[in-house]
Structure 1
Amino acid sequence: MLFAISSVHLLNDAMQTVVTALFPIFEDSLKLSYAQIGWIAFTLNMTSSVLQPVVGIWSDKRPTPWMLPVGMLCSMIGMAGLAFAPNYGLLLLSVVFVGLGSAVFHPEGSRVVHLAAGGRRAFSQSIYQVGGNFGQSLGPLMTAAIFVPLGQRGAAWGMLLAVAAIAILFRVVPWYAARLAEHGGQAPRKAAKPGTAAQASGAANAAGAAREGLAISWNVVLFAISILLLVVFARSWYGAAIGSFYQFYARDSYGLSIQAAQIPLFLFMIFGVAGTFAGGLLADRIGRKKMMLISILGAVPFALALPHLPLFWVYPVIAVMGFILQSGFSVSVVYAQELLPGKVGMASGLITGLAFGMGALGSVVIGNLADAHGMAYVMLLASFLPLIGLLAMLLPKDRRE
């Protein structure tokens, strides 16, 4: 079941990546500026991200397994719109549908992972995130193999991704609903009487959740969540610079074609997949905070060096940086879940949702700066963003340290 929901995560994030993979095509076919491209990325991330904590809070109170295929249906509508949108306004509306599908999927998907994880939460979360990261890494390949030859109409192939996801979810949903019933997570149709087994089970689950969390005060929890959001915020701003705009930087600075510019972008993403998996494995051994610090401190020198490298060195450096930088992502989700025991949906929504939604502002800022000062200036400025991640040193120790 863990691999099934990870596969759906792959397909969901691949559909999101169709949007960014089409940026060079939209730039040409609709004559868009970098600022307009930034607003497309902003619309996608804000829709998919800011709604995630809202969906997460709802799902914590009333888990709804059938929201999963409904979310995929929204993404399918968005894919169809991307393929045939004749103007910028309809393009943004189509992006909203893709974002809505993702917003619905992620909190419920994280709950499935939580139920299937057993005692290895960081490892299980890394399996789940590997699916999403691998889906994102397909973007450069889709640009080179599908969208450059076929143009905007090639986005119609993304509808097949939604169909495949819905097919898998029809196997996941019954299992998910059964586990919720077993764990007392499914609200009964009639209120349970005091002293019933259902009430006792719910109390035991709540107590167990509290024991699994970090034994710290609520003020420290709020401080830690704030620091964690800033760290993820900075990482997502940097991710927006690389994922949305590095292909234009490679084209302008190194004279690469759009297809050739996908190679360093693909290396960053595919090595990030491996880093996500490795980070989850290692975090179960050495602790969440230590793994996040290794990820952040290790990525800083590579990020600072990247804008100054000759093309030959770009490929290995961007690959290593992707591996290190993404090794801490799934760990930050688990750390947030342990800060907020019993609120899996809200914690997942905050980290994979709200923080990335705020990071979407980076796409708008980067796009406007690129129009005003050039892409080289923007990449130089963005290289300092990972330094904000050093705030992670202020986080309290986790329960494995």
Structure 2
Amino acid sequence: MNKRGVAMMSSAHMVDDLYQGVLPAMLPFFVSERHYSYAAVAGLTLAATMLSSIVQPAFGVWTDHKPRRWLVPSGMLVAALGVAAAGLFSSYAATWLMVAVSGLGIAAFHPSAASAARRAAGDSNRGMSIFALGGNVGFALGSLLATPVLLAFGLRGTALLVLPAVVMVVILIKKMGPVLDGPAGAPRFSSMPQGKDNWPEFLKLTSVVLVRSIVFFGLSSFLALYFIHNLGATEVIGGAALTIFLASGACGTLLGGWLADRFGPLISIRYGFAVCIPAMVGLVLAPEWHIALVLVAVTGISIFVPFSVFVILGQNYLPNRIGTASGVTVGLAVTVGGLFNPVLGAIADATSLHTMLVMLIALPVLALFLSLFLRAPAASPPSIAVPTAH
């Protein structure tokens, strides 16, 4: 494992996904300053997430034909400029377009970045889990960074949020090639998987990723509300429950990589879902919020254990389509799970929040069942010295 390369790509992932985390922090200011309706705000979220997730596989296919590592810094910069411009335009149409442009930048970043991270990590699931962790941390930092800036300067303060991307882009332009490939003229070893593409296994994996995504979006959207309305907790405790869920997820991401290196990726995925099921059962049965917080932590760890493993496993299933595999496992299959949130909300409205969460437990059971049909990818041949493209 190229530790410097993994650290660089994880840092780049953190900065890029920071701009995904900035948008939720901007939404209340769009409502208060520009008097946008909730429907209009939902439209901005749709522009950012859905367009990005749909386009990511296309960028993945494009990078399969020829490595285009320049998409890593350029995608990040476009993501940052889109967010900055969204705060400067008064027109809703222009704001929507700028948010969509930011989503396109994020879509351009991920397939190439995941491929570069794989080159640095080699066959180490732990290395890829560090890359995935960077995105988790970046998303959380987006809100923490944006909120004080927006409170101080209003929406026009979004121009200041470009600075982290500018710094990281300069670092990537100067250092990414030498760090990932080594000194010029030195032998370069291919750490990428080799062999035939296994589309049936990849499609089965995609179905597991989709089911897991619905669980994640459902919990992250309704967990705080459940603590407030069903367990009698305050809004502060409800927010803390969501924070604990995401922070525990960061630990689960690293744990998943370690388990996959020690016992194999399929064991890591199955263990994650197997622990998630009783954790969620305990959560909906918890009589009060103190006990529920502990179970939220266990649920967060377990639902994130398979997260980074999905990426490297998908790349191993499609060794000749690394960009496509990255675009689907990092982008499309993850975000499409958010489409089911309105369905979960409708179930909660028609029954209760508690009933909806009880029904949600069926999904990790389904994911565990589907994962039993996955087969380990064929082993890659030893690395060989080859020239690498930029």
Question: Does 2:300 match 1:297?
Answer: no
Equivalent-residue separation in structure 1 for 2:356 and 2:152 (angstroms): 29
- Choose from 381, 391, 394 the match for 2:373: 394
Equivalent-residue separation in structure 2 for 1:374 and 1:154 (angstroms): 40
Equivalent-residue separation in structure 2 for 1:368 and 1:92 (angstroms): 26
Q: How many pairs does the alignment contain? A: 371
Question: Does 2:52 match 1:48?
Answer: yes
Q: 2:308 aligns to what?
A: 330
Gap runs ≥5 in structure 2: 380-390
Q: Are residues 238 and 172 of structure 1, via their aligned partners in 2, closer, same or farther at CA, if it must alter by over 3 Å?
A: farther
Equivalent-residue separation in structure 2 for 1:56 and 1:15 (angstroms): 20
Equivalent-residue separation in structure 2 for 1:151 and 1:138 (angstroms): 18
Gap runs ≥5 in structure 1: 186-200
| Paired residue type of 2:309 | V
- Choose from 297, 317, 332 the match for 1:319: 297
**Secondary structure of 2:372's match?**
helix
Equivalent-residue separation in structure 2 for 1:242 and 1:26 (angstroms): 25
Q: Once structures 1 and 2 are overlaid, which stretch shifts more, 44-53 or 377-386? A: 377-386
**Secondary structure of 2:63's match?**
helix
Question: Does 2:226 match 1:222?
Answer: no
| Paired residue type of 2:305 | S
Equivalent-residue separation in structure 1 for 2:113 and 2:246 (angstroms): 22
Q: 2:167 aligns to what?
A: 164
- Choose from 342, 356, 359 the match for 2:320: 342
Higher RCO structure (Cα 8 Å, ≥6 apart): 1
Q: Once structures 1 and 2 are overlaid, which stretch shifts more, 222-231 or 164-173? A: 164-173
| Paired residue type of 2:375 | P
The C-alpha deviation readout for 1:335-394, integer Å capped at 9, x for no partner, is 111111132111111111220242231244446666777766655544443233121111
**Secondary structure of 2:276's match?**
helix
The answer (yes or no) to whether the contact 2:22–2:143 under 8 Å persists in 1 is: no
Equivalent-residue separation in structure 2 for 1:379 and 1:25 (angstroms): 31
Equivalent-residue separation in structure 2 for 1:369 and 1:36 (angstroms): 23
The C-alpha deviation readout for 1:50-86, integer Å capped at 9, x for no partner, is 2121111111211122222221221122221343454
Equivalent residues in 2 for 1:76-225, closer than 5 Å: 76-84=80-88, 86=90, 89-118=93-122, 120-138=123-141, 141=144, 152=155, 155-175=158-178, 209-211=193-195, 221-225=198-202
**Secondary structure of 1:395's match?**
coil
Equivalent residues in 2 for 1:345-384, closer than 5 Å: 345-366=323-344, 378-384=356-362
Equivalent-residue separation in structure 2 for 1:339 and 1:165 (angstroms): 31
Q: Once structures 1 and 2 are overlaid, which stretch shifts more, 120-129 or 359-368? A: 359-368
The C-alpha deviation readout for 1:143-170, integer Å capped at 9, x for no partner, is 8766678765565553233223313322
- Choose from 15, 19, 25 the match for 1:15: 19
TM-score (norm 2): 0.81
Equivalent-residue separation in structure 1 for 2:209 and 2:52 (angstroms): 16
Equivalent-residue separation in structure 2 for 1:338 and 1:224 (angstroms): 10
Q: Matched residues, percent identical?
A: 29
The answer (yes or no) to whether the contact 1:143–1:262 under 8 Å persists in 2 is: no
Q: Are residues 377 and 84 of structure 1, via their aligned partners in 2, closer, same or farther at CA, if it must alter by over 3 Å?
A: farther
How far 1:6 sits from its partner (Å)? 0.5
Give the RMSD, CA atoms, in angstroms.
3.5
Q: 1:190 aligns to what?
A: none
Q: Are residues 176 and 369 of structure 1, via their aligned partners in 2, closer, same or farther at CA, if it must alter by over 3 Å?
A: farther
Q: 1:188 aligns to what?
A: none
- Choose from 257, 262, 268 the match for 1:285: 262
Equivalent-residue separation in structure 1 for 2:25 and 2:300 (angstroms): 18
Q: 2:385 aligns to what?
A: none
| Paired residue type of 2:111 | P
Q: 2:78 aligns to what?
A: 74
How far 1:12 sits from its partner (Å)? 1.1
**Secondary structure of 1:394's match?**
coil
| Paired residue type of 2:322 | V
Q: 2:241 aligns to what?
A: 264
The answer (yes or no) to whether the contact 1:10–1:135 under 8 Å persists in 2 is: yes
How far 1:262 sits from its partner (Å)? 3.0
Q: 1:193 aligns to what?
A: none
| Paired residue type of 2:141 | L
How far 1:126 sits from its partner (Å)? 0.9
Equivalent-residue separation in structure 2 for 1:249 and 1:91 (angstroms): 33
Equivalent-residue separation in structure 2 for 1:317 and 1:154 (angstroms): 39
Equivalent-residue separation in structure 2 for 1:382 and 1:23 (angstroms): 28
